[in-house]
Amino acid sequence: METTKTHVVHGGTLRYLKHDSATTGTPMTLSVFVPPGEGPFPVVIWLSGLTCTEDNFTTKAGAYRAAAEHGLIVVAPDTSPRGDGVADDPAYDLGQGAGFYLDATQAPWASHFRMESYVTGELIDLIDAQFPTTGARSILGHSMGGHGALTLALNHPELFQSVSAFAPISSPTRCPWGEKAFTAYLGSDDVAAWNRHDAARLIEAGAARGVYDDILIDQGDADSFLTDQLKPDLLKAAAEASGQKITIRMQPGYDHSYFFMTSFIDDHLAFHAARLKH
């Protein structure tokens, strides 16, 4: 991986990186924070939401003081493949910047939009090969990235010690963002196949039972997307139906912005650090 920028922050080192991805067939960008010390360190992977790049979390979340204190490597990849020849759409919720952390099966998306395989395969392998990791990792994200963190953790439990999310798209098979993206990326011939990428449906089916002792969700009650797109009540109902513990914290007055995330990111990193140290 090529380092494009380096900064020292809270005693650790933050790098912006770029590499040619064999999975997406495009250049991919990311940031990696390594805490002070020799390591090895466990890893936390952050997945961002619609329209974001690796830079949104890196500059706005205020995560690195807590990451340094807990001794965590923090990895923030871009949200989709990008570049000339990569399919796109004029809308903000489809195409570049809106990969939804799945592997597309439909043209023109299938050739590059393989974010599930990228995050759970190539990205993890690169980080473990080039940084002082323990091999243990957790995952969290926001909005579309919260959806991605939940579904990747539920579909690949062998890879992650814990999972949490800010304002996740809880059930994309039952909201306009998800219905639009899944129709484009996965097609409408087999709608049942969409369920593999729906956290509420996966939890209801027992995918988290016996794997994760708890799943932490923070949601602002002033979030403009709360009712139509995010629907945390579907996660709550799924947890009750399956007997899975999920801690859903409704935070009064908070919206969908990074002001919300920076207010509670320390709690999430502490949540993961406690589980990664086991």
pLDDT per position as a tens digit, 192-212: 889 999 999 999 999 888 899
Q: Which helix (H) or strand (E) holds 9?
A: strand 2-9
Residue 216: half-sphere exposure toward Cβ, Cα within 13 Å: 20
Average pLDDT over residues 232-241: 97
Q: Which helix (H) or strand (E) holds 260?
A: helix 258-276
Of 45, 125, 52, 127, the C-alpha closest to 82 is 52
The runs of H, that is alpha helices, within 4-106 are: 54-60, 64-70
DSSP β-ladder status, 163-166 and 246-251: unpaired
Sign of the CA dihedral with 125 first, then 129, 130, and 134 last: positive
Place of tokens 């949540």: 271
pLDDT per position as a tens digit, 7-36: 999 999 999 999 999 999 999 999 999 999
Burial class (CB in 10 A: 0-12, 13-18, 19+), 213: exposed
pTM of model > 0.95 = yes
Distances in Å between the Cα of 145 and the Cα atoms of 25, 48, 57, 163 are 21, 5, 11, 12
DSSP helix/strand/coil, 249: strand
Average pLDDT over residues 225-233: 98
pLDDT for position 178 = 97
Residue 264 structure tokens? 């509670």
pLDDT for position 191 = 86
pLDDT per position as a tens digit, 72-84: 999 999 999 999 9
Q: What is the mean pLDDT of the chain?
A: 97
Cα–Cα distance between 178 and 194 in angstroms, integer?
9
Positions marked catalytic: 143, 223, 256
